[in-house]
């Protein structure tokens, strides 16, 4: 930290402590500086020595990363998730002392977290550490935006805090986090894996198609889980490195809470707001990758021409357009999808660009967009009713909005598919697929097996190993 920045932080600490004493309550202080390059994975690994929870968000194709260490403040809601989280966030920012001369998206005080998939579902022990909506403002934040790197300190200062002690602690922990280190990369060793009963799940697909053919729904998205055991607790940094290396068109995330970590790599953006410009995506319709370019192109073209997949994709496009019309203007959605290739799968993809109207926020958009037909079904309430009644899985944060918010009305959320909850020597993986009137249970089952592959591979599984 150069002298001028040390002096500025010195002044701000004095101001925050004084304000905490006057108001007789803790005071939020956020201080951002520009720094030399730091590997986000190294920062994440070094953060474990603080013995506090860590956060990771990476938009891999944009070369944009947020890595958090520690907890300055957290926000939790058990009901009215979007409204209550927005109220808490606004209240926190109103009282905060913020020094950030850059004001780039993802710098300054940010909150990283997630909302639940279903606002009415009951909670099972698997999700005890991730119940309701939960967002955390990290004590230390690394922001990497292509070639630019920023370091933010967020402090919840009490009237009893001593400035010089805080300064010494910040300097020591900052040096530990950003100093060059070598991170060993070793995939976990998988001992065993087991999936939910395929026969029972295929019967559920049949039951869903029956409901659809009776006219009670158009599409129902069904999910299931796979459990894996490890020889030793996996190093989350190795999982993240594997995901960022191989899932290069995805959002990679990890949220630690106590002994659990929710981790994944999703290709599906729900919404991004950048200076009132809105970006979303329609991602529905799935096929495997080919073993050669010719085979890959053939499969991709077949996906574009497949009636079932195009119909499924069009449902998502129609719903997203309808949801955005209340909040946006200048909505631009191409008439035809393109093929979006990932390492293990390819999808039908349609980008969405719009301008967010004044007076609306990312919370308004999230509340109306989630769940899209790609995650819940169509009509929304009919499909969710079926899921609540017949699906034995507690989705928790699986398929839910996960992402970040900053102090300047920017933020980005994806849907947490291709994900897992890691708990000591065990992980629970999730995968789903869209069921429509002519769905074939065996084909839907094979699609979920494909969708397990990214996380299973990152967790030490072997892609061509029999299930």
pLDDT of residue 113: 98
In the structure encoding, which two tokens stand for residue 370, read together? 């989630």
pLDDT of residue 466: 33
CATH 3.60.120.10 domain span(s) along the chain: 190-235+269-458
| 31 in Cβ contact with 9 (< 8 Å) | yes
pLDDT of residue 464: 39
Query: Which amino acids are annotated catalytic?
Result: 219, 268
Cis peptide before 379 (omega within 30 of 0): yes
**Which residues, given as ranges, of the chain have pLDDT below 70?**
1-4, 121-122, 462-467
C-alpha to C-alpha distance for 61 and 440, rounded to whole angstroms:
34
Q: What angle do CA 351, 278, 309 make, to 5 degrees?
A: 25
Question: Of the CATH numbers 3.40.50.300, 1.10.730.10, 1.20.120.160, 3.60.120.10, which one belongs to the domain with range 190-235+269-458?
Answer: 3.60.120.10
Q: HSE on the CB side for 424, CA within 13 Å?
A: 1
pLDDT of residue 182: 82
CA dihedral angle for residue 332, residue 276, residue 380, residue 310, rounded to 10 degrees: 30
Q: To which residue do tokens 């097996």 refer?
A: 449
Q: What is the pTM of this model?
A: 0.94
CA distances from 382 to 208, 376, 462 (A): 11, 9, 38
Q: Residue 293 in 3-state DSSP?
A: helix
| SS3 of the chain: helix, strand, coil, percent, to 5 | 35, 35, 30
Q: To which residue do tokens 């403002």 refer?
A: 137
Q: 243-277 as b/e, with b when 16 or more CB fall inside 10 Å?
A: bbebbeebbbbbbbbeebbbbbbbbbbbbbbeeee
Q: HSE on the CB side for 62, CA within 13 Å?
A: 18
């Amino acid at each position: 930290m150069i002298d001028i920045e040390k002096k500025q932080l010195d002044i701000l600490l004095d101001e925050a402590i004084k304000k905490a004493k006057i108001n007789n309550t803790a005071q939020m202080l956020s201080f951002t500086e520009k720094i030399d390059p730091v590997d986000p994975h190294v920062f994440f690994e070094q953060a474990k020595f603080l013995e506090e929870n860590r956060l990771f968000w990476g938009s891999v194709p944009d070369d944009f990363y947020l890595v958090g260490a520690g907890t300055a403040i957290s926000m939790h809601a058990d009901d009215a998730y979007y409204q209550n989280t927005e109220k808490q966030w606004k209240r926190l920012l109103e009282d905060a002392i913020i020094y950030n001369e850059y004001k780039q998206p993802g710098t300054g005080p940010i909150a990283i977290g997630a909302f639940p998939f279903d606002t009415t579902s009951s909670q099972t022990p698997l999700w005890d550490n991730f119940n309701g909506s939960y967002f955390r403002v990290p004590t230390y934040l690394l922001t990497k935006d292509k070639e630019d790197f920023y370091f933010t300190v967020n402090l919840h200062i009490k009237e009893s805090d001593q400035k010089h002690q805080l300064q010494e602690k910040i300097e020591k922990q900052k040096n530990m986090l950003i100093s060059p280190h070598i991170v060993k990369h070793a995939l976990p060793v998988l001992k065993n894996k087991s999936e939910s009963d395929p026969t029972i799940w295929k019967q559920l697909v049949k039951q869903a198609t029956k409901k659809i053919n009776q006219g009670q729904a158009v599409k129902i998205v069904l999910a299931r889980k796979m459990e894996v055991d490890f020889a030793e607790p996996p190093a989350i940094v190795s999982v993240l490195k594997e995901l960022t290396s191989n899932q290069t068109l995805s959002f990679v995330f990890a949220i630690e809470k106590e002994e659990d970590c929710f981790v994944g790599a999703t290709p599906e953006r729900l919404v991004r707001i950048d200076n009132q410009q809105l970006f979303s995506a329609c991602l529905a319709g799935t096929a495997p990758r080919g073993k050669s370019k010719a085979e890959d192109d053939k499969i991709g073209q077949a996906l574009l021409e497949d009636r079932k997949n195009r119909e499924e994709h069009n449902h998502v496009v129609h719903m997203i357009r309808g949801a955005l019309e209340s909040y946006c203007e200048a909505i631009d959605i191409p008439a035809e999808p393109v093929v979006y290739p990932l390492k293990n799968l390819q999808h039908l993809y349609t980008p969405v660009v719009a301008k967010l109207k004044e007076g609306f926020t990312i919370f308004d958009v999230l509340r109306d967009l989630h769940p899209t037909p790609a995650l819940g079904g169509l009509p929304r309430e009919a499909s969710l009713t079926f899921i609540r009644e017949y699906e034995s899985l507690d989705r928790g944060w699986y398929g839910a909005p996960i992402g970040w918010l900053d102090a300047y009305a920017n933020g980005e959320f994806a849907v947490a598919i291709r994900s897992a909850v890691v708990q000591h020597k065990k992980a629970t993986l999730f995968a789903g697929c869209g069921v429509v009137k002519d769905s074939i249970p065996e084909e839907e089952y094979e699609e979920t097996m494909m969708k397990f592959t990214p996380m299973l591979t990152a967790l030490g599984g072997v892609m061509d190993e029999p299930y």
